[in-house]
Structure 1
Amino acid sequence: MWLISLSLPLLPTIIIFVYFRYHVKVASLCRRALAWAQSLMRGRVCVKDVHAFVFTNCTHGKADSVLEMFHRYAETHHTLSVGQLTGDMLDEVIKRTHPLMVLELGTHCGYSTVRMLRLLPPGGRVITVETDSVTADLGEEIIMVAGFKHAQFQVLPCSSAEAISSLHSYLEADQSPSEGIDLVLMDHDPQQYLQDLLLLEREELLCPSGCTVLLIKRTRRDDECREILDYVRKEENCYSIRTEFPQMMEIVYRKDVQRREG
């Protein structure tokens, strides 16, 4: 007890010392924990509610009807879908690049997957990755309700790192003439963007003649995509930033450029 009595007058000093020494790390840890908890809770609620609304109100087998129900739901409810504005930008990229093999990190409600699948050229395919198994199952059903078959897409219920490490087996089984992944849509945890890009490089999964990498920006924080953008700007022999919007950034990867210049 006497130790407690002696230490009480020093408590404010101790608190101030700890705050100034560790406040940045503690604040960052708290933000990450809160963001993870919120995304987990919102993701499950969002997918269940959206699934029920879209499934009940859309015309089954019609992708545009499914997308319209997403838009109607978003008018009055929170949703993790990228939304119509970003979706229109995504459409433009798909029409311009004509990707055959697409990797999507973050299935969420299946909205972006449906938007991409309806515009892919014949033989095009989407592999979409979702960490939460409940979200993955419901998102997969939404995609099938839109009229797409498993020959056109596959949902992998695992972490992005696990999915990327196993992608060679899926690409080898695919019959399309693609040299690798033609387009990567990153819409999961921004903290994983750079790590997953580096892993895609190490696994040599990005199409060397040209791969488009789209980064979805969920907030207006300047540091949301800072790590991956710093890396891209440093590796200018392989990467270039083509377009930049408040909600999305388009990066182009070309390994062949490095070979020709070498």
Structure 2
Amino acid sequence: MSLMVVSIPLLPVIMMLSSRYRVKVTALCHRALAWVLRLVRGRVCVRSTHAFVFSQCTHGNADSILETFDLYGATQPSLCIGPKIGEALDEVVRRVCPSRVLELGMHCGYSSVRLLRLLPPAGRLVTVELDPLTAELGEEIILVSGFKHSQFQVVTCSSNESIPTLRPFIKPDQGTSEGFNLVLMDHNPQQYLTDLLALEKEELLCPSGCSVLLIHRDRRAESLGEIVDYIRAKPDCYCIKTELQFMTEVLFQKESTEVNMDQKV
């Protein structure tokens, strides 16, 4: 509704200019829409979500934080993945037992809290969020949940800007492996393939095994487009492990072939 109110006054101007400056106007419209979406997200949804959760939850209790998020999402628009996807995410985390997790798309901290509460004591989460307000409020929610800065790191920039800077966050500690064991992509699906290629280039995916979770909020796995085609074209190191209504799990594994080659020698 808010988008309609903002957009309607612009229509006469757009129609008048479109025939003469079609390409430029189209680009301008995309930029204007992106700005409006960011405005609605940052100043309405994120602020109201944070205020509700902060005031209604039991501080220091991660489960209470999640329940309060879900209570808000039952009656109000929310960017959180919600309990259905959240439970599927929990299953993957329990199975993978990751020590290093990367989250692209923070969304006020809901999935960050879900992830952190299941990590081992030495585990660490790096969460990347483009919008500064969302990152600030999300970090506060994580701290209110009872987690400490030593357990997580918030990176406030775009995913493509952040990936080349992430290596210092995954230096192996005792009992942990090098690279991220789990990557959650819940930002812009059009950016998924670009970011996966960047993670490969920077060697940030754990070679012995990394689960990459792709969230598709429109409920169609086909919306993932190019990244699924890319994964299926590289069966030597990728395979699609599970496909759910809202989430696809991709397994990256590179070490097994190299180990076999070493054994032959």
TMscore range, shorter length:
0.7 to 0.9
Which structure 1 segments of 5+ residues have no match? 1-14
Shift of residue 260 of structure 1?
4.9
1:55 aligns with 54
1:114 aligns with 113
Q: Which digits, 9 at most, give the CA deviation of each residue in 1:147-166, with x for residues without a partner?
A: 10001111100111121110
2:253 aligns with 254
**Cα separation, partners in 2 of 1:82 and 1:34, compared to 1, 3 Å:** farther
Q: Does 1:40 align with 2:68?
A: no
Shift of residue 114 of structure 1?
0.2
TM-score normalised over the length of structure 2? 0.84
Amino acid at match of 2:45: C
**Cα separation, partners in 2 of 1:83 and 1:34, compared to 1, 3 Å:** farther
**Cα separation, partners in 2 of 1:243 and 1:31, compared to 1, 3 Å:** farther
Shift of residue 209 of structure 1?
0.3
Distance in 2, Cα, partners of 1:173 & 1:111: 26
Shift of residue 173 of structure 1?
8.1
Aligned residues: 242
**Map 1:102-181 → 2, pairs under 5 A:** 102-172=101-171, 177-181=176-180
**Map 1:198-237 → 2, pairs under 5 A:** 198-220=197-219, 223-237=222-236
Amino acid at match of 1:228: I
Distance in 2, Cα, partners of 1:144 & 1:90: 21
Are 1:237 and 1:257, in contact at CA under 8 Å, matched by a contact in 2? no
2:14 aligns with none
RMSD: 2.5
Shift of residue 39 of structure 1?
3.9
Which structure 2 segments of 5+ residues have no match? 1-18
Higher Rg of the two aligned structures: 1
Distance in 2, Cα, partners of 1:38 & 1:178: 42
TM-score normalised over the length of structure 1? 0.85
**Cα separation, partners in 2 of 1:121 and 1:91, compared to 1, 3 Å:** same
Amino acid at match of 2:231: V
| Bigger shift: residues 171-180 or 204-213 | 171-180
**Cα separation, partners in 2 of 1:56 and 1:223, compared to 1, 3 Å:** same
Shift of residue 213 of structure 1?
0.0
Distance in 1, Cα, partners of 2:57 & 2:184: 25
